Amino acid sequence: MKKKTVTSGSSPVASIFSQWIARQQKLLATTPPTTPNATGSDYRILLQQSFSLSDRIAAAQPVENAQVYRRAGQLMPSEVATKDMLGGHAWLLHLIELSAAAVTKSAAVALDSGGTIAAPKMVLISTLPQDGTELTRHLSHDQEQHVDILELASLDPFGWDTIGDAPNDATNDITKRDLLSHNLTLSDLRSLYEYLRQPQSEASNRRQPTIVIWQSLTPLIQFHGFQKTLKFLRALPGLQVWITPISCLTPFQHAALEDAANCLLQVQNGHATFLKQGVREPGNVQRETIMYELRAVRDETDGAVFHRVVEGAEVSGKPEVEDITDQETLRKAMDALDVGKAISSSNTGIATKLTTNASDRNTSRGPQPKMKLQLEEETKIEKSSSKLQQRPRIYMDDDDPEFNDLDEEDPDDDLDI
């Protein structure tokens, strides 16, 4: 297993979509046209996010000595918790963007080939009661043309208000695939299965590389149960993206989803852990730690704010680090950390002190603490000298009464007083 940390360069997730589409197109090109359901190997990506109560409490809890985290270039616990909660939805939008870019590029190549290469398609399934177009607002116009949005729960999740069959005068304009898309609900898995297996064009009798992205598996699991939902997901062809909160399922259910998936993307502790199985070589398993940051983007149409993932950041959401050149500010910060106090060790007889070097004040991260070792004897001498300097002293003048008393007691001045 290979393990590395991704800090720059192209996205390792984007290569999955492009490699899988190219492999599917190659397999479909060598398949006889008489085989309508010819397809290659399927691939599944599992995205796990955290929205637990502990994260929400940590996100709302104030942090003391925030300047310490700033100088160290680290995120505060509240920022890490906020990033984990917002990172799941941001990574979903990021996967949609990467998938749409790969589909758009491959569709252009398929169009230039004159039909010899199968054009891929992308299906975005919205399972939450909201407008599915909110998931594609960050896409370009060309990318939106290659994305089919299925809203299973926004209008009629139980299928009570289906439109039924189309009128007789419109049957020539509405295909079977269009009818299925209008009647799809969260409760009807069979119709959804038939829709995903239908070719995009009625003139084509061959399967196309299909990428299916689920907005959330939680409503599907709550409606049909875990075992039935997992069986349905495993039966679907193509490349799928599953997203589920960690706190909504049991460890056994998470283990079952992880075993069924080929790629695991877990957003936790301020970074994304990426564990994938090779698309071309299934025996090649690779693990990566993706450092990323979240950037807030405001939509120009309605002013809504959503977060986008930017891969390759060393520290996610790293704030600007202030240069500390004021000695008073430095002293207060050091007192808050108690780093100016000596740490003595009775076993080794060595006392450790932290001192600061004035030459480091011009650095970008402020003065750095320096370690200075002193012997115990030197420390004792230093302490004794400081005590002698702090001892009160008595001064006598010639006209002091005490001085006159001494003269009366020793008039001959032969005593050493």
Q: Is the pLDDT of residue 341 over 90?
A: no
Q: What is the pLDDT of residue 183?
A: 66
Rg (CA), the chain: 35
Q: What does the pLDDT read at residue 98?
A: 92
- What is the strand order of the sheet 147-151 is part of? 2-6, 285-290, 271-277, 263-268, 43-49, 239-245, 210-214, 121-126, 147-151
Predicted confidence (pLDDT) at residue 143 exceeds the cutoff of 80: yes
The length of the chain is: 417
Work out the pLDDT band at 329, boundaries 50, 70, 90: very low
Structure confidence at residue 233 (pLDDT)? 94
Alpha helices in 263-375 (DSSP H): 327-337
Between CA 323 and CA 329 the distance in angstroms is 11
pLDDT of residue 374: 56
- Distance CA(196)–CA(179), nearest Å, equals 13
| Tokens 């999740």 belong to residue | 157
Q: Are 21 and 106 in contact (CB under 8 A)?
A: yes
The least confident of 85-94, 113-122, 212-221 is: 113-122
- Residues with Cβ within 8 Å of 79's Cβ and at least 6 positions away in sequence, in order, are 270, 317
Residue 352 pLDDT > 60, yes or no?
no
Q: Average the pLDDT over 155-173 and give the result.
A: 50
Q: CA-CA distance, 214 to 46, in Å (whole number)?
A: 10
The fraction of the chain above a pLDDT of 90, given in percent, is 13
The whole-number pLDDT of residue 231 equals: 94
% of the chain beyond a pLDDT of 70: 59
**Orientation angle between helical segments 53-60 and 77-112, nearest 10 degrees:** 120
Q: Which of 120-124, 135-139, 167-171, 379-383 has the lowest mean pLDDT?
A: 167-171
pLDDT of 77 > 60? The answer is yes
Q: At what angle do helices 189-197 and 176-183 cross, to 10 degrees?
A: 150
Of the pLDDT bands very low, low, confident and very high (cuts 50, 70, 90), residue 362 is: very low
Amino acid at 199: P
DSSP 133: G
Q: Quick one: average pLDDT of 6-25?
A: 77
Measuring CA to CA, how many Å separate 155 from each of 6, 57, 131, 161? 41, 34, 9, 9
For 42-83, give the DSSP string.
Answer: -EEEEEEE---HHHHHHHHS--S-HHHHHHHT---HHHHHHH
What integer pLDDT is reported at residue 88 of this predicted model?
Answer: 86
pLDDT over 60 at 342, yes or no: no
Highest mean pLDDT among 45-54, 191-200, 224-233, 403-412: 224-233
| Domain locations in the chain as residue ranges | 2-311, 327-409
Tell me: pLDDT of 242 over 90. Answer: yes
Q: Average pLDDT over the chain, rounded to whole?
A: 71
- What is the pLDDT at residue 109? 84
Find the range with the poorest average confidence among 8-12, 21-25, 257-261. Answer: 8-12
For the segment 250-256, the average pLDDT, to the nearest whole number, is 91
Architecture of the domain delimited by 2-311: 3-Layer(aba) Sandwich (3.40)
CA distance 211 to 104: 12
Whether 32 has a pLDDT exceeding 60, the answer reads no
- CA torsion sign for 344, 350, 355, 360 is negative
Give the pLDDT of residue 289: 84
More confident residue, 268 or 168: 268
Q: What is the pTM of this model?
A: 0.65
| H or E element in which residue 243 lies | strand 239-245
